[in-house]
A and B are shown apart, each in its own frame.
Chain A
Amino acid sequence: MQFLVPLLTTLLPVLYALSVAAYARAYTRDGGALDRLGPMTLRAAVLLHIFYLSVRGVLEGHLPLASVYDFLSATGLSMAVVYLYVESREGARTTGVFVLPFVFLIQIVSSAYGGRATPDPVPLRPIWFELHTLTAVLGYSAFAVSAIYGVLFLLLYRDIKANRFSFFFRRMPPLEALGQMNIRAAEGGLALLTLAIALGVGWLWRSGTGSLTDPKIWFTLFVWCVFAFSILAYHRFGWRGPRAIYMSLVGFTTLLLSRVAVDLFFHSFHSFR
Chain B
Amino acid sequence: MPSKTAEPSLDFLCVGLNHETSPLEIRDALVLSEAEVERAIHVLRDRGGAEEALILSTCNRTEVYARGALVPDLPLFVNDLLREIKGMDLGARGHRLYAYREPDSVRHLFRVASGLNSQVLGEPQIVGQVKDALTLAARSGGSGPVIERLQDSALRCAKRARTETGIGRGPISSVYAAVNLASKVLGHLGEKRILLVGSGEMAGLSMCHLMDAGVRHFTIASRNRERAESMAVRSGARVVSLEAIPVVLPGADIVVCATAAPGFVVMEPIVRAAMKIRKNRPLLLLDLAVPRDIEPAAARLPNVFLHDLDALAAIVAQSLEQRRAEVPKVEAIIDEEVRRFMRWYRSLDLKPTVTAFRSHFERIAHEELERHRGRFRPEDQPAAESLARSIVQKLLHRPTTRLNRAGEDGSTGLKRIDAVRELFGIEREEESDEDRDAR
Measured CB to CB, the residues of A under 8 A from B are: 30-32, 160-161, 163, 165, 169-170, 173-177, 237-243
Contacts and interface: CB of A to CB of B under 8 A. Distances in A.
Interface centre among B163, B280, B299, B315 (most CB of A within 10 A): B280
B292 to A, nearest CB: 14
A242 B307 contact: no
Contact of B314 (A30, A161, A163, A177): A163
B318 interface: yes
Contact of A160 (B166, B305, B314): B305
B303 A31 contact: no
A176 B281 CA distance: 10
Interface in B299-321: 299, 302-303, 305, 307, 310-311, 314-315, 318
B286 to A, nearest CB: 12
Given A163-B307, A241-B282, 7 more contacts: A31-B163, A31-B164, A165-B314, A175-B187, A176-B186, A241-B303, A242-B302
Contact of B282 (A31, A170, A176, A237): A176
Contact of B279 (A169, A173, A238, A242): A238
A176 B283 CA distance: 11
Interface residues of B, number: 26
Interface string B152-190: 000000000001111001100000000001011111000
A100 B334 CA distance: 38
Contacts of A30: 166, 169
A175 B183 CA distance: 9
Contacts of A163: 307, 310-311, 314
B280 A161 contact: no
B305 A240 contact: no
A40 B349 CA distance: 47
Contacts of B184: 160, 169, 174-175
A239 B280 contact: yes
Contacts of A241: 280, 282, 302-303
Given A30-B166, A31-B164, A177-B187, A240 B303 contact: yes
Contacts of B170: 170
A243 B302 contact: yes
Contacts of B299: 161
Interface string B267-309: 0000000000001111000000000000000010011010100
A115 to B, nearest CB: 42
Nearest to A175: B185
A240 to B, nearest CB: 4
Contacts of A177: 187
A144 B163 CA distance: 35
A240 B280 contact: yes
Interface of B: 163-166, 169-170, 181, 183-187, 279-282, 299, 302-303, 305, 307, 310-311, 314-315, 318
Nearest to A90: B187
A240 B282 contact: yes
Interface centre among A173, A175, A237 (most CB of B within 10 A): A175
Contacts of A240: 279-282, 303
A174 B180 CA distance: 10
Contacts of A32: 164
Contacts of B165: 31
A243 B310 CA distance: 29
A243 B281 CA distance: 12
A32 B163 CA distance: 8
Identify the 3 closest CB pairs spanning chains A and B, nearest first.
A238-B279, A174-B187, A240-B280
B184 to A, nearest CB: 6
Nearest to A239: B280
Contacts of B303: 240-241
A240 B280 CA distance: 6
Contacts of B181: 160
Nearest to B186: A176
Nearest to B299: A161
Contacts of B183: 174
29 contacts: A30-B166, A30-B169, A31-B163, A31-B164, A31-B165, A31-B166, A32-B164, A160-B185, A161-B305, A165-B314, A165-B315, A169-B184, A170-B170, A174-B185, A175-B184, A175-B185, A175-B187, A175-B282, A176-B187, A176-B282, A237-B279, A238-B280, A240-B279, A240-B280, A240-B281, A240-B282, A240-B303, A241-B280, A243-B280
B171 to A, nearest CB: 10
A150 to B, nearest CB: 15
A239 B279 CA distance: 7
A240 B170 CA distance: 28
A203 to B, nearest CB: 41
Nearest to B329: A31
Nearest to A169: B184
A86 to B, nearest CB: 14
Contacts of B279: 237-238, 240
A91 B299 CA distance: 30
B204 to A, nearest CB: 25
A170 B171 CA distance: 11
Contacts of A173: 187
A213 B240 CA distance: 63
A11 B279 CA distance: 49
A162 to B, nearest CB: 10
A32 B165 CA distance: 9
